[in-house]
Chain A
């Protein structure tokens, strides 16, 4: 019996060590450009989800809903992306979701700056390449380098809100981006480690 148990255990231990080593190497190795580009496409799929892109407009107003319709109440961008006096974002959007009334909320609710628009003026999402170019342009992205972009995607409260967006006025839950926040951060990390490559097409 002992020899049988040993025969069963040894391969299992070897396999476990091998998996562990493989995982560690995946974390430490620099991804290839192709792997980086693949990771970027995952990131892009999140950025263009309504929970994210609704506040990355090219227009003078935010959007709302999965159909990305114009925001109610004639809300406008304002000079700092926070609305205007009398009609500030914070006049409805509180520090956290208000599920009993269906109004989403989070710290410092605001629109992304126009330099981080991910749509054209007709509300069509920009291409993967165009968003990538803008996101990696430090003259447009608040001077963030790769690690800065990773930190933003990992920690920024409004980014994290996309995965806890609360309930609609009818009580149903808002839809989520196409992957978990952890997967999004991991994809961002791979893209950053690969040197933030961008697709070369338009």
Chain B
């Protein structure tokens, strides 16, 4: 066991956990932040995506010992950000969600895309979102919501 000081959604959190514990389980089990989902556990589906220092990161395979002092943003905190808020609004407006299980990861990946590429092409969307799986097949609505959010962001409405 070891003690870690984490910055989660702008708040300092201290906890004592095994260094090998994946960040996902620290968030869900220790911090009781269950918005981030367990999907495959091998970084193949994207359901567990969070932002580590702004980089979309698969939290299921990152041991807590590797996080360091990098800021962590989860789906619970993404709405504090203008791009994150725009994406959330677009998601609701487009009625993207079906079962919803993968959607927190989808939103975190979409926000990472739009922060670096405010006007994404179809190829940009396909490549950036291609690693986030949705068993309900909501991909067309995800694309539409990203386009909607991008339009809102670029016209300054975010």
B44:A72 contact, CB within 8 angstroms: yes
Binds B, one of A80-88, A156-164, A178-186: A80-88
Binds A, one of B92-100, B121-129, B150-158: B121-129
B112:A86 contact, CB within 8 angstroms: yes
Assign chain A's interface to a size class.
20 to 34
B62:A74 contact, CB within 8 angstroms: no
Q: B20, B44, B62, B113: which contacts A85 (Cβ < 8 A)?
A: B113
B117 CB–A CB distance under 8 Å: yes
In the complex, A87→B112 CA distance in Å?
Answer: 9
A91:B57 contact, CB within 8 angstroms: yes
How many A-B pairs have beta carbons closer than 8 Å: the answer is: 83
Instruction: Specify the chain A residue showing the minimal Cβ separation from B61.
Output: A101
A85:B130 contact, CB within 8 angstroms: no
The interface residues of chain B lying within 8 Å CB-to-CB of A75 are 131
B131:A73 contact, CB within 8 angstroms: yes
The interface residues of chain B lying within 8 Å CB-to-CB of A78 are 127
B66:A98 contact, CB within 8 angstroms: yes
In the complex, A100→B131 CA distance in Å?
Answer: 22
The interface residues of chain B lying within 8 Å CB-to-CB of A100 are 19-20, 22, 63
Q: 8 Å CB contacts to B: which residues of A77-131?
A: 78, 84-88, 90-92, 94-96, 98, 100-103, 105
B78 CB–A CB distance under 8 Å: no
A98:B127 contact, CB within 8 angstroms: no
The interface residues of chain A lying within 8 Å CB-to-CB of B19 are 100
A86:B20 contact, CB within 8 angstroms: no
B94 → chain A, closest Cβ, in Å?
A: 18
> SS class of chain A's interface: helix, strand, loop or mixed?
loop
In the complex, A84→B132 CA distance in Å?
Answer: 13
In the complex, A96→B19 CA distance in Å?
Answer: 14
A92 → chain B, closest Cβ, in Å?
A: 5
The interface residues of chain B lying within 8 Å CB-to-CB of A88 are 55-56
Given A85-B113, A86-B109: A94 touches B56 (CB 8 Å cut-off): no
Instruction: Specify the chain B residue showing the minimal Cβ separation from A73.
Output: B131
Chain A contact residues, CB within 8 Å of chain B: 72-76, 78, 84-88, 90-92, 94-96, 98, 100-103, 105, 169
Beyond the given A88-B56, A92-B43, A92-B57, could you list 19 further A-B residue pairs with CB under 8 A, ordered by the A residue number? A72-B43, A72-B44, A73-B46, A73-B130, A74-B130, A75-B131, A76-B130, A84-B127, A85-B128, A86-B128, A87-B128, A90-B57, A91-B49, A91-B52, A91-B56, A92-B62, A98-B63, A100-B19, A103-B62
